[in-house]
Amino acid sequence: MCGIVGYVGKKDCTKVLLDSLKKLEYRGYDSAGVAVFENGEIKISKSKGRLAVLEQKLQKEGWINGTCGIGHTRWATHGEPSDINSHPHGSARVTIVHNGIIENYQKIKAFLIKKGYTFESETDTETVAKLLDYYYEGDPMAAIQKVLGEIEGSYALGMMFKDFPNRVYAVRKDSPLIVGVGEDEAFIASDVPAIIKYTRNYYLIDQDEIVVLDDGKAGIYDIHGMPVDKELMTADWDMEAAEKGGYPHFMLKEINDQPTAIKTTITPRINEGMPDLSECGMTLEKLSGYQNIFVVACGTAMHAGLVGKYVIEQLARVPVTVDVASEFRYRNPILSDKDLVIVVSQSGETADTLEALRLSKNVGADTLAIVNVKGSSIAREADMVLYTHAGPEISVASTKAYIVQIAVFYLIAFELAFAKGAISEEECRRLTGVLQSVPDLINVVLQQAEQCKYIASKLINAGNLLYIGRGLDYALSMEGSLKLKEISYIHSESYAAGELKHGTISLVTEGMPVIAVATQRELFDKTVSNVKEVKARGASVIFVTHSYKTIESDVAEYKIGLPTIDDILMPLPAVVPLQLIAYYTAVLKGNDVDKPRNLAKSVTVE
Ligand code: F6R
C-alpha cells in the first residue's frame, strides 16, 4: 500500500526521495509524487504511473533543487489513480503525504467546505491537509495536535509547512513509520529498505508520536509535545538483502533464498536437538496448558496456518481453528484465557490481522505472533513474538516468508506434542533433525527449475486451472493456486481432491490443466483415483509427488518428483515447484512479476 518518505539533510533531496521510493515499490502503487522546498517555496511534482514516469516528468519539466522534502507512492483507495489524486496534497501553507485511510473524511470535508475551502481531488488525504491549514496559526505542532484530535482511521503522515523550509513533520497511527538518522541527515519512511542505502540506524515510531526532522536531526515527541526517548535500532541486514543479487526478479531470488531462510529461522530455536521456543516466553508448561489454538492471518500467511493446523493436530492432538482475519474479527469468536491465538504476518502491519490480535488480547487469550518484519505493529502488540528470519521480502507474491512461517509451525508442533506427551523425546528429536535436513532437500528441488518452466509454458494459454490435493496437500494446493492467480492472472481454484465430484468436476473440459499434489502416502491411491476422474474428462494433469513413485500415462502428462522425507514435513519441499510454476507462468506471459496489478505488499487497510 502507499509508501511515504521524507528527507532533511544536505543531499539532492529529490534524488534521495526517488531512490527511497524505489525501495518501497514492492508495497504496490499506481502513482507517485514528491514535494521539495526550493528557495523557500514548496514545489510539487506528481503523476499517475510508475516512478520512472515521475522521474521523466521531473527531468522534462525541471528538477526540484532542495535539501528538504517528502515523497509518496499511492495505492488508490479514495479516487482512481490519476495525476490529481496523486500525493502530495495541500494548501498554500501546508503540504502532506499520507498512508492509510481517514474514515471520517466526509464529515470533515463538509465542515471545511462550509468554511470556504475547495477541493481538487477525491482523496481523503486532501481533507487532512486542509484541516491542518484551517488550524495552522504559525505553530505546526499545535495544528497537528488539533488535527489528531479530529481525524479517525489509520495514518502515517509526512507534512511540510511553508513557513518552516527546513523541516518535515510526521505522525502515525496504525500505519507504519520509521525515522532514519545519519550524519547531518534524517529520514522518515514507511519501511527500513527505503533508508538502508543511507543509514542503518533508525527509530520505530509508536502510535500518535510526532516526529520533527529539522536541520538534519530527528526529534520525537508524544502527543502533548513532550520529548520521547527511544531505543535506536540497527538494521541487521544490508543493501544486498534488498537487491536482486543477479536474479531477474525478486521473486526468483526469494524462492532461491528459501534454504537459507529456513536455516536462519530454525537454528537459533533448536537446543541440543530439541525445539526451544523459550526466547519468547513460551515454556513447555505454558504450551501444554492450552485447550484450543486459533490461527488468524490473511492470504498466504493464512495458508501457512492451514499447514500448521494439520501438523499440530496430527502430532499434538490439540484442536486448531484457522481463520481469515477479516472474518475472525467480525464473527464474535469464542475465546477464553485457556486459548492461544497465533497471528501470522510477514509485514506485521496487515490491518485485519492486527485488529484480530487486539480483539484476542481484549478477551484475555494469550497471543503469539509469527512475524517477519522486526518492530512491526503486530510484533510489538502481541504477548509473545517469534520472528521469522527471512530477511526483507520484496516481491509482492510471498514465498520465503511463507516457508519460514511453516518452519516455525513445525517447531511449535514438535514442542507442543512433546509437552503434551503425545510424542516421545526421541521422536521429537528425530523430527527436529529431519526438519534441519530440509534446506538441503530444497536445494535439490530448486534444480528442477527448468522442468517447472517447461510446465509453465503449457499453462500460459489456459483460461482456468484446478489444483487438487488431500490433507496437507490440499493446504499446499491453496497456496499453489493463489500464487498462480496473483502473478499470472490465470483463474485457478484449489479443491480437496475428494470434493471435486460434488460439483466442480463439471468445469473440467478437454485440455484443462489440473495440478495434483500427492505427497501424503496414505492418501496417495485416493488422490490417484480422483486424478483419473478428471483425466477421463479430458484434463491435462501435472502430478507433484515423491520421485520414486511411478506415474502411468493414464494418470498424468507431467510429473514433478520430490525427495522423500516424513510425509508430515513434505509441504516444505513440495511448495517449491508450485512457486516456480507460478513464477515462470507469469514471466512467460510477460507480466510484472514482482509488482502484480492491483496488489499491495503491505495491506494496511481493512
Ligand atoms: C500473497 C501474499 C498475501 C499476504 C497477505 C498477508 O502472495 O503475499 O496473500 O500473505 O496479504 O500479508 P502479511 O503476511 O504481511 O500479513
Report the mean per-residue pLDDT for the chain: 94
pLDDT digits (tens, 9 = 90+) for 266-282: 999 999 999 999 999 98
C-alpha cell at 179: 525515522
Cβ of 191 closer than 6 Å to ligand 1, yes or no, is: no
Q: Confidence class of residue 28 from pLDDT cuts 50, 70 and 90? A: confident
326 CB near ligand 1 (under 6 Å): no
Q: Which long-range contacts (CB under 8 A, 24 or more apart) does 527-531 make?
A: 527/468, 527/469, 527/470, 527/473, 527/497, 528/555, 530/468, 530/497, 530/498, 530/500, 530/501, 531/468, 531/497, 531/555, 531/556
The verdict on the CB of residue 298 being under 6 Å from ligand 1 is yes
127 lines ligand 1 (CB under 6 A): no
Q: How far away, in angstroms, is 256 Cα from ligand 1 center?
A: 19
pLDDT band at 288 (very low <50, low <70, confident <90, very high): confident
Q: How far apart are the CA of 402 and the centre of ligand 1, in A? A: 9
Provide the pLDDT confidence category of residue 374 given band limits of 50, 70 and 90.
Answer: confident
| Interval 220-247 mean pLDDT | 84
State if residue 479 touches ligand 1 by the CB under 6 angstroms criterion.
no
**For residues 253-267, average pLDDT:** 95
Is residue 234's pLDDT more than 70? yes
| pLDDT over 80 at 237, yes or no | no
- What pLDDT shows up at residue 218? 96
CA distance linking residue 303 with residue 320, whole number of Å: 14
Kindly tell me if the per-residue pLDDT of 136 is higher than 90. yes
Among 62, 77, 84, 82, which residue's Cα sits nearest to residue 28?
77
Which residue is listed with cell 509508536?
A: 206
13 in catalytic set: no
Amino acid 239: pLDDT: 66
Q: Is the CB of 353 under 6 A from ligand 1?
A: yes
| pTM as predicted | 0.81
Tell me the C-alpha distance between 218 and 183, whole Å.
11
**Torsion angle of the four alpha carbons 282, 284, 286, 287, in this order, in degrees rounded to the nearest 10:** 90
- Helix/strand/coil for 363: coil
Q: How far is the C-alpha of 55 from the C-alpha of 38, rounded, in Å?
A: 17
Contact 571 CB / ligand 1 (< 6 Å): no
Query: Which mutation among 603, 604, 605, 606 tests ligand 1's pocket best, with the greatest number of atoms within 8 A of CB?
Result: 603
Q: What is the pLDDT of residue 519?
A: 98
CA of 375 to the centre of ligand 1 (A): 18
Q: What is the predicted pLDDT for the residue at 238?
A: 65
Cα 403 to ligand 1 centroid, rounded to whole Å = 13
Q: Are 348 and 372 in contact (CB under 8 A)?
A: yes
User: Would you place residue 78 in the very low, low, confident or very high pLDDT band (cuts 50, 70, 90)?
Assistant: confident
Find the 516 Cα to ligand 1 centroid distance in Å.
24
CA neighbor of 357 nearest in space, from 401, 422, 297: 297
Stretch 348-367: mean pLDDT: 95
- Examine residue 88 and say whether the peptide bond preceding it is cis (omega within 30 degrees of 0): yes
Task: Report how far residue 309's alpha carbon sits from residue 295's, in angstroms, rounded to the nearest whole number.
Answer: 8
Protein residue with least CA distance to atom 9, ligand 1: 299
Ligand 1 centroid – CA 302 distance (Å): 8
Q: Which three cell numbers stand for residue 311?
A: 501438523
**Residues 425, 426, 429, 432, CA torsion sign:** negative
77-91, 134-148, 358-372, 491-505: least confident range: 77-91
Residue 399 Cα: closest atom of ligand 1: 7
- 18 confidence band (pLDDT: 50, 70, 90): very high
What's the pLDDT tens digit per position in 512-532? 999 999 999 999 999 999 999
Catalytically annotated residue among 173, 253, 595, 601: 601
Which tens digit of pLDDT belongs to each residue from 165-187?
A: 989 999 999 888 999 999 999 99
First to last CA, the chain: 12
Question: Does residue 244 carry a pLDDT above 90?
Answer: no
Work out the angle at residue 281's Cα, subtended by the Cα atoms of residues 275 and 282, and round it to the nearest 5 degrees: 45
Q: How far is the CA of 301 from the centre of ligand 1 (A)?
A: 6
pLDDT value, residue 235:
86
Nearest residue by C-alpha to atom 6 in ligand 1: 298
CA of 300 from ligand 1 middle (Å) equals: 5
- As a whole number, mean pLDDT of residues 480-495 equals 97
Q: Is the pLDDT of residue 5 over 90?
A: yes
Q: Is 11 a catalytic residue?
A: no
Ligand 1 atom with the shortest distance to the CA of 300: 10
Residue of 2, 13, 68, 452 marked active site: 2
| Residue 172 one-letter amino acid | R
What's the pLDDT at 173? Answer: 92
Whether residue 586 is predicted with pLDDT greater than 80 in this model: the reply is yes
284 residue type, one letter? L
Is the shortest distance between the CB of 486 and ligand 1 below 6 Å? yes
Is residue 47 lining ligand 1, measured as CB closer than 6 Å? no
Å from CA of 36 to ligand 1 middle = 33
Half-sphere exposure of 89 (CA within 13 A, CB side): 28
> Average pLDDT, stretch 562-588?
98
Q: How many Å lie between the centroid of ligand 1 and the Cα of residue 228?
A: 33
The best mutation among 27, 298, 482 to test binding of ligand 1, ranked by most ligand atoms within 8 Å of the C-beta, falls on 298
Contact 375, 401 (CB under 8 A): no
- Confidence at residue 284, expressed as pLDDT on a 0 to 100 scale: 84
388 lines ligand 1 (CB under 6 A): no
Nearest CA to ligand 1 atom 5: 299
pLDDT score for 461: 94
- Ligand 1 within 6 A of CB of 405: no
Q: Is 397 in the pocket of ligand 1 (CB under 6 A)?
A: yes
DSSP 465-516: EEEEESTHHHHHHHHHHHHHHHHH--EEEEEEGGGGGGTGGGG--TT-EEEE
**CB of 603 sitting under 6 A from ligand 1:** yes
Element (H, E) at 225: none
Q: Is 589 exposed, middle or buried (0-12, 13-18, 19+ CB in 10 A)?
A: middle
Residue 257: closest CA among 134, 365, 413, 388: 388
Ligand 1 nearest-atom number relative to CA 483:
7
Task: Identify the band that residue 138 occupies on the pLDDT scale cut at 50, 70 and 90.
Answer: very high
Mutate to test the pocket of ligand 1, among 174, 306, 327, 347 (most ligand atoms within 8 A of CB): 347
